[in-house]
Amino acid sequence: MADGKTALVTGGAGFIGSHMVDRLLELDYKVVVMDDLSTGKIKNLNSAAVFHHTDITKPAMTEIIQREQPDLVFHMAAQTSVTESTKNPIDDTNANVLGTLRVLEASRRAGVEKIIYSNTGGALYGDPETIPCSDDAPITPVSPYGMSKWVAEQYMDFYYRQYRLNYTSLRYGNVYGPRQDPHGEAGVIAIFSRAMLEGKQPSIFGDGTQERDFVSVFDVIDANIEAIDRGDGKAMNIATGEATTVNRIVEILRSITGYKWDPLHAPQRAGEVYRIALDCTRAAQELDWSPKISLEDGLQITVDYFRESMNPSGGVPSTS
């Protein structure tokens, strides 16, 4: 499938990016990773990839793209914290808009064939009137993060129209799975899994009735692979179409881990959407893609990963 092609993954040491790198290597691409390691981790890096420790907002990244001459760019590097974006919207915009613009301009100059952009569906549509939310629903972000990711997508479309730099923008639901940071704020499943395995009380922000569209990282990677040859010049949702409450996630994780206590509750966070699920009709039509991993199976895979990473001998930490 690769035909000797080179793929660049920005953010390739991160949660989603590192899985992308692994899959591309399996498909015999030469893979180049660009990551500033602000949230990405060295331990996630596949040693078979070429690694450049750099920031997409810095001029050095232009030289790297020129030198490596990638055929494809999977643009996954981003500032992804909704809370951080509300506290510091300028830094958020610098990473997500100006960083993306640097990637686009460098890619155009280097003759890149296509950019596949990791966008957010969960933060793009605000609190939509209709659930699940269609690919063409009004764009009404309620956080600077959603706004910056939207503006970056508009730059993708501009470069496509103006310079014929091909792209597909994939608007993800709430992605979860192995390697997600259990110490961040975005990965509720990773945070809860780790806390329960350690016998600690996880905190729910709000009453837990807020709903999200949780999609496995492995399904997301499948969508990126399908987008290599399809979906040109289009943006589309990548999720399950199912809205699941945070309380339901807690129930399933308690069942998997054997955790006995109730979670704590903290105040709702600024900029967070209350209820979202994404209709993936366009992805089904354009990419012939649909999610394959059920929520229960995906959660089991995630818990198994954290259990193993905490206790490589395979024993289960006590929660009693």
| Whole-number percent of the chain with pLDDT over 90 | 81
Predicted local distance difference test score (pLDDT) of residue 185:
58
The answer to whether 176 is a known catalytic residue is no
79 and 194 both lie in a single domain: no
Whether 271 and 154 share a structural domain: no
Q: What is the pLDDT of residue 33?
A: 98
In this structure, the answer to whether residues 31 and 170 fall within a common structural domain is yes
- Check: CB of residue 239 under 8 Å from CB of residue 277: yes
pLDDT confidence of residue 1: 59
For residue 298, tell me if it sits in a domain.
yes
**Same domain as 170, residue 302:** no
**Are residues 146 and 198 located together in one domain of the fold?**
no
Residue 132 resides in a domain: no
| pLDDT, tens digit, 9 for 90 and up, residues 159-168 | 999 999 999 9
Instruction: Evaluate if residue 101 carries a pLDDT over 70.
Output: yes
Tell me how far apart the alpha carbons of residues 131 and 202 are, in angstroms, rounded to a whole number.
Answer: 28
φ/ψ region of 186 (left if φ > 0, alpha if ψ in -120 to 50, else beta) reads alpha
Strands (E), the chain: 6-10, 30-35, 50-53, 72-75, 114-120, 166-172, 174-176, 203-205, 211-212, 214-216, 234-238, 244-245, 264-266
What's residue 82's pLDDT? 84
List phi, psi (to 5°) of 175. -80, 140
What pLDDT score was predicted for residue 166? 98
- Residue 184: what pLDDT? 62
Percentage, residues of the chain above pLDDT 70:
96
pLDDT of res. 319: 39
φ and ψ at residue 272, rounded to 5 degrees: -90, 135
Q: Which of 117, 145, 167, 259 is catalytic?
A: 145
How far is residue 212's CA from residue 279's CA, in Å, rounded to a whole number? Answer: 13
Is the pLDDT at 304 greater than 80, yes or no?
A: yes
Q: Are residues 207 and 260 in the same domain?
A: yes
- What does the pLDDT look like over 16-61, one tens digit per residue? 999 999 999 999 999 999 999 999 999 999 999 999 999 999 999 9
Tell whether the model's pLDDT for residue 197 goes beyond 50: yes
**Cα–Cα distance for residue pair 82/270, rounded to 1 Å:** 8
Residue 109: what pLDDT?
97
Domain hosting residue 290, numbered range: 188-211+242-310
For residue 320, pLDDT beyond 90:
no
Per-residue 3-state assignment (H helix, E strand, C coil) for 62-110: HHHHHHHCCCEEEECCCCCCHHHHHHCHHHHHHHHHHHHHHHHHHHHHH
Per-residue pLDDT at 316 exceeds 50? no
Please check whether residue 316 lies inside any domain of the structure: no
What is the reported pLDDT for 276? 92
Strands 174-176 and 214-216: parallel
For position 187, what pLDDT does the model report?
82
Is the domain of 39 the same as that of 118?
yes
How many folded domains does the chain comprise?
A: 2
The domain that contains 283 carries what CATH number? 3.90.25.10
Same domain, 157 and 274: no
pLDDT value of residue 317 = 42
